[in-house]
Amino acid sequence: MPEPISRRQAITYGVGAVAAGALAGQRGGTISRTAHGRRPRKPRQPELPQPRVLSSRDGALSVRLTTRPGVVDMNAPKLVRTNTFDGVVPGYTWELRPGDTLRVDLRNRLPKLPPMPMHMDRPHQWTNTNLHTHGLHVSPAGIADNVFLDIPPGRDKHLEIPLPADHPAGSFWYHPHRHGGVTQALRAGMAGMLIVRGDLDEVEEVAAAREKTIVLQNIELGKDYQLLDPIPEPKPDQDFFPKALDLWTVNGVLTPRLRMYPGEVQRWRLLNAAEGNFMSLQLKHHDFHVLAWDGLTLAAPDPTDVLMLSPGNRVEVLVKAGRPGRYDLVLTPGSSTQPNVPGMPESGSPGPAGGGMPMPGFSTLKGELDKRTIMTIEVSGHGRSMSLPTALPAYDPPILPIRRHRHFTFSVQRKPDNTFLNFGVDGKPYDMAAPPYQVPLGTAEEWTLENAFDPKLMEHAHVFHIHTNPFKIIKRNGKVLSPPLWRDTYVLTKSAGDTLTFQSNFVNYAGKFVEHCHIVGHEDLGMMSAIEVVE
């Protein structure tokens, strides 16, 4: 039996009757308490929970979002003690429409930390917070999607984020983006889905399908199922982000069950909200019919038997159930130094034999990257056979005339003896005082990102993400892609010299934002730089 939670611990972690009971059954990862503080008995395989949905009304969605410690039932051997949004993992789903305004009263109730150095290439002040609406094409300035805001424990901040009237419909998400503490937030489970409704939802076959939000997370914990603090300057036998176990959760619980009937079509919105793991998914005897990547709709459904999501990616798919039976949704995880999972794009170079060495400060637990079942699909019963669409309202805006070409690198800095120093962009770790790369508003540029040579680790993948504007990938490792790929997050494959070439329109919004590796441990250790769109 799990250890009881004392009254003192319950108070510390914010377990309350209102938080625990008022929303029971509406979301996964429910905060739980019995009369004796023990973990309640659960079925061996719970039904897939759905996060509570908060929808806009009269052109606005107003939410109060509180960051705080919580005790969460993930159907694990013990209750999980971690940092949360509003006491739940994942956070509530926010639902908006183009032209709406998102208003957030963000309250930081995480514990205050003792004073510590503010090194931009090390974890620091990880209980300070802010909010990033990942993938939304919105203003990065002022009180909108401004990741330079800093909200210490005990402080509040009101945010207002207007969506443009022509914002694409799709799946986006929100999470803290306070540099130095992004990894701690995501490995704790602080993330939620953000849905923009629109033209894709009006496609007849899509509208007819039952919809499921599926937030995939790797919750990184100590041996007593508690979130551990980072170590800014680890010893040789320590990690920057220590852990003793991983919980691969689906909507905040382990190995849930989802029911379908033969011939039924469901719409799944999948999000990889892990701090740094690639996630390759396969469903035996079933194809995924891809509608959109990163909230950007394709011209027609794209059938595939494997989905490879980099950290930060979203994918929307239709799944049509086959014959009665039980089918496992199987996850093959990958890491930055062991990225060879099904569906991973090919590297431009084969790399050395015996690659996949661990990165100092980032140990891989035994069994962490083993293939595993994360959800079971039970197909039974009867119902009308449903159809799949043949055409979709594609997101494919024209690229403006290319004003400038840029070549830059994701790099690793080391001492002469090859001891790790930090990550960086073009050989430099993130520096708040460094001038940003400037782009004139209303122009387009073509950038090529290269995986820089690392003499210590010959295989080392990264994930490129940029805020505010999506990008159109036209080449991968020098090979032209036909058709090109619209994304806001994409893998930079593992070998030195691997490249991504993409184009982007810098439109509608002036202001400063960031580009970075969305293996966010790399970001917190320096792999980030500022971009400024100027009028």
Encode the chain (535 residues) as per-residue pLDDT tens digits: 333 343 333 333 333 323 333 333 333 444 444 333 455 555 578 999 999 999 999 999 999 999 999 999 999 999 999 999 999 999 999 999 999 999 999 999 999 999 999 999 999 999 999 999 999 999 999 999 999 999 999 999 999 999 999 999 999 999 999 999 999 999 999 999 999 999 999 999 999 999 999 999 999 999 999 999 999 999 999 999 999 999 999 999 999 999 999 999 999 999 999 999 999 999 999 999 999 999 999 999 999 999 999 999 999 999 999 999 999 999 999 999 999 999 999 999 775 544 566 787 888 999 999 999 999 999 999 999 999 999 999 999 999 999 999 999 999 999 999 999 999 999 999 999 999 999 999 999 999 999 999 988 888 999 999 999 999 999 999 999 999 999 999 999 999 999 999 999 999 999 999 999 999 999 999 999 999 999 9
Closest to 126 measured CA to CA, from 162, 198, 176: 176
Cβ of 122: how many Cβ atoms within 10 Å?
Answer: 20
pLDDT at position 26, please?
36
Q: Strands 60-72 and 101-108, how do they pair?
A: parallel
Element (H, E) at 11: helix 7-12
Q: Strands 372-379 and 257-260, how do they pair?
A: parallel
261 Cβ contact list (under 8 Å, min separation 6): 321, 379, 380, 381, 382, 383
Q: Strands 296-304 and 265-272, how do they pair?
A: unpaired
Give dist(CA 253, CA 50) in Å, integer: 11
Give dist(CA 303, CA 315) in Å, integer: 13
Q: What is each CA distance from 362 to 249, 279, 336, in whole angstroms? A: 21, 18, 10
pLDDT at position 217, please?
98
What phi and psi values does residue 421 have, to the nearest 5 degrees? Answer: -105, -60
What six digits make up the tokens of 472? Answer: 């159109």
Give dist(CA 355, CA 353) in Å, integer: 6
Give dist(CA 202, CA 340) in Å, integer: 37
Give dist(CA 358, CA 341) in Å, integer: 16
Cβ-count burial of 17 within 10 angstroms (0-12 exposed, 13-18 middle, 19+ buried)? exposed
pLDDT at position 351, please?
58
pLDDT at position 124, please?
98
Cβ of 415: how many Cβ atoms within 10 Å?
Answer: 8
Closest to 374 measured CA to CA, from 149, 163, 75: 75
* CB-facing half-sphere around the CA of 125: CA atoms within 13 A: 19
Cβ-count burial of 166 within 10 angstroms (0-12 exposed, 13-18 middle, 19+ buried)? exposed
Cα 262 versus chain centre, distance = 32
Query: What's the angle, vertex CA 353, arms to CA 348 and CA 355, rounded to 5?
Result: 80
pLDDT at position 150, please?
98
Cα 352 versus chain centre, distance = 30
Domains of the chain as residue ranges with CATH? 7-199 (2.60.40.420), 211-220+231-379 (2.60.40.420), 402-534 (2.60.40.420)
- Hey, is 9 helix, strand or coil? helix
Scanning the structure block, which residue is given the tokens 């079925």?
A: 43
Element (H, E) at 183: helix 182-188
Give dist(CA 247, CA 97) in Å, integer: 33
